[in-house]
Chain A
Amino acid sequence: MSKTSSKTMTRPQLSRSDIASLQADLDAVRDEVMQSLGASDVAHIRRMIRRARGSAIAGRAMIGLGFDPLTFLVGVAALAHAKIVENMEVGHNVMHGQYDWTNDPALNSQTYEWDNVCDAGMWRHFHNYEHHTYTNILGKDRDFGYTILRMSDEQKWHPFFLFQPIWNGILAAAFQWGVGGHDIGAERLLNGQMSWKEFKQRSKPFHRKIRRQLMKDYVLFPLLTFWNAPRVLAANFLANLIRNLWSYAIIFCGHFPEGTAVFSEAETQDETRGDWYFRQICGSANIEGGRAFHILSGHLSHQIEHHLFPDMPAHRYAEIAPKVQAICAKYGIAYNTASFWRQYGTVLGKVFRHALPSRRANPALSQA
């Protein structure tokens, strides 16, 4: 297993013919799985939906009807688990269109709405389009550092970044809010590229979704068992917090660990699908773990496979990972995989290191 630990990732130089055959190899991996999709894939996602629902019902019942600390703790855990499974394994993957081929309206990418404050339509725009198309292209992939963190030498330093360990902590705890507001592009308001009016207009779906979520977790359920209202409020807050921390940690391990490369807009101009595949591999990192861990991460622990084939049902990533890794080895491309603690450790290291000004490692990648 190849692990990269050099400070700055060195990207191998592949010839045009290598890129073309890389494309053919990866297309073959994709086709084999996509042609075998069937009842078992649908059964998997429906099982996950039932698991999230069952867990939410059990958790909310224990929280609302119980009186003792034990049901409180178990209830919070069950509700957090429900939200994690629904957001990560069901919502994220369904909204990628991984199950559009089933023609089941309940599994349709365009109509699914998930259990957090991020509006599904906004998510599809900045995630499916911006992030997955322009992965790790500085200036185009707004997910790289989420516009408030400096995660590579190539990003221009600003005194604002001095405090980024703090921003990082806030983002982790309030992750759904960061994700929810991401598509509005508030940074453009601050630097004068967006008017107040446009800002308000763009915020509308976010506000609608916030109302719906707050209503559910902080009004409806507390009222339903009003004698227990403070307990319900606290438990729902904790469950949301746990889900935030978990999804933050998993997602930060996707593109920020040591060894993930960034790209400039210029060098990605006339990309073929092979170039695009290459960029996805170089820009992504996997986390090692067992099946339960993969499910709880929504299979984002197979970030490389996910970025290569975002519309392949995610529970298939584990099965193709060895093939992808072998293809990477064939072309000398590093396949970045390690334990959660190692990957997250290097992410934290970057948060601290890049808080301070540094020379740009690759001037070609300099960002305005």
Chain B
Amino acid sequence: MTTALPIRLRDRALRSAWLHPFNDADAINDLLGSLNPRWSLTEVRAELVAREPQTADTVRLVLRPNRLWTGFVAGQHVTITVEIDGVRHQRVYSLSSDPADRRLLSITVKRQPQGRVSNWLHDHLHCGDVVTLSPAQGDFVLPQNHGPVLLLSAGSGITPMRALLYALRARGAGDVVLLHVCRDADDQIFASELAALASGWPGLRFVAWHTADRGRPALAELLATVPDHIERDTWLCGPAAFMADVEAHWQASGATERLRLERFGLAPTVIGSGDAAEVRCSRSERLFAAESGEALLPAAERAGLKPAYGCRIGVCRTCLCKKRSGTVQNLVTGERSSEPNEWIRLCVSSAQSEIELDL
């Protein structure tokens, strides 16, 4: 992909040693931000313009991004950065708006029990507030050509489906089934939009399975509502166990190439003491095991990796490394943290779950 000329010029100017200190991006962004919180030279900043409650614990947030937003393709997600009590947190949310709208975008947020960011977005993000977004990412998107479509979701897994539905309707797709599992009619996210979409679009069939009435469906029972499901190009999003079942079924039928998945970040499962956790290193593409209670630095070295280090006692930060995901414990303070994309010191951190490091 080629980047637009103004962006390339901007990046060159920001890197140039000759222009320093006039090209200090942080200073410029602070200045722009103080004039208008949405303005920035380098970041997509978006203002909350509307909140639309969907269910008791789910809200759709409508955001107006600045001009650095380059739009998205239906099915993609964004990373949203918010600052809560001085700490920046990042979370990934599917884009649930109509991708044809370049001016507004929306994400749909369900409260997670103990979820720092989801609850903060529900309770503390007010209209007029500004958040930072990454460019849209992900390949849970529509191919050029496709056959009949099945969108299969459960719970808040429906959020990317809304964008996909808008894109499919714009293409004039003639045979689309949305099969969705949720508790009951009150728990149906996007209920009114879906009804409106279905009424004006004969090609869309909407099948809802309400567990409050019919119980948790056995997979065969659920899929029986769409008998030709295995022939359809399928997009799947929902809780991990549900997705695993569906994936296994498609695998058994030899139809995996017609199945596309969007996985949510999961709360990592904490290992017991004495167990070992798997550590994935995204840069070196290596994998090693670290015992619980053991610092990650020696564990990485045992596996033949050579992370930078100095004091090895947590003082100097030479071993600082970005942890992409997973739970770690600080061996000095005993503090645990599961925050994605945070900086940890390898010499005083131990893995408490499967983790991914930028190493």
Shortest beta-carbon distance, A111 to chain B, in Å? 10
Asked if B85 lies at the interface with its beta carbon under 8 angstroms from chain A, I say: yes
Q: Decide if A100 touches B317 in the complex (CB within 8 Å).
A: yes
Q: Decide if A129 touches B20 in the complex (CB within 8 Å).
A: no
Asked if A147 lies at the interface with its beta carbon under 8 angstroms from chain B, I say: no
Asked if B87 lies at the interface with its beta carbon under 8 angstroms from chain A, I say: yes
Shortest beta-carbon distance, B207 to chain A, in Å? 42
Q: Decide if B318 touches A129 in the complex (CB within 8 Å).
A: yes
Contacts of B30 in A (CB 8 A): 49-50
The complex places the Cα of A101 from the Cα of B342 at a distance, in Å, of: 8
Shortest beta-carbon distance, B61 to chain A, in Å? 21
Q: Mark A166-180, 1 if CB is under 8 A from B, else 0.
A: 000000000000000
Q: Which residue of B lies closest to A60 (CB)?
A: B21
Asked if A318 lies at the interface with its beta carbon under 8 angstroms from chain B, I say: no
Q: Name the interface residues of A70-113: CB closer than 8 Å to any CB of B.
A: 96-97, 100-104, 106, 108-110
Asked if A125 lies at the interface with its beta carbon under 8 angstroms from chain B, I say: yes
Shortest beta-carbon distance, B307 to chain A, in Å? 13
Interface size range on A against B: 35 or more
The complex places the Cα of A247 from the Cα of B313 at a distance, in Å, of: 28
Number of interface residues of B (CB under 8 A): 28
Q: Mark B308-330, 1 if CB is under 8 A from A, else 0.
A: 00110101111010000000000
Contact of B18 among A27, A50, A215 (CB under 8 A): A215
Q: Which residue of A lies closest to B330 (CB)?
A: A34
Q: Decide if A103 touches B342 in the complex (CB within 8 Å).
A: yes
The complex places the Cα of A132 from the Cα of B316 at a distance, in Å, of: 7
Q: Decide if A103 touches B341 in the complex (CB within 8 Å).
A: yes
Asked if A276 lies at the interface with its beta carbon under 8 angstroms from chain B, I say: yes
Q: Decide if B310 touches A125 in the complex (CB within 8 Å).
A: yes
The complex places the Cα of A74 from the Cα of B310 at a distance, in Å, of: 43
Shortest beta-carbon distance, A125 to chain B, in Å? 7
Q: Decide if A276 touches B27 in the complex (CB within 8 Å).
A: no
Q: Mark A118-144, 1 if CB is under 8 A from B, else 0.
A: 000000110011101100000000000
Q: Decide if A133 touches B86 in the complex (CB within 8 Å).
A: no
Q: Which residue of A lies closest to B341 (CB)?
A: A103
Q: Which residue of B lies closest to A41 (CB)?
A: B86
Contacts of B89 in A (CB 8 A): 103
The complex places the Cα of A130 from the Cα of B311 at a distance, in Å, of: 8
The complex places the Cα of A128 from the Cα of B317 at a distance, in Å, of: 7
Shortest beta-carbon distance, A22 to chain B, in Å? 15
Going nearest first, the 5 A-B pairs with the smallest beta carbon separation are A129-B310, A129-B316, A42-B86, A133-B311, A103-B88
User: Which B residues contact A (CB, under 8 angstroms)?
Assistant: 17-18, 20-21, 26-27, 30, 83, 85-90, 310-311, 313, 315-318, 320, 332-333, 339, 341-343
Can you identify 23 A-B contacts, CB atoms within 8 angstroms? A27-B333, A30-B333, A31-B333, A38-B85, A42-B86, A49-B30, A50-B30, A97-B320, A100-B317, A100-B320, A101-B87, A103-B90, A115-B21, A124-B316, A128-B315, A130-B310, A132-B316, A133-B310, A211-B17, A212-B17, A215-B18, A273-B332, A310-B315
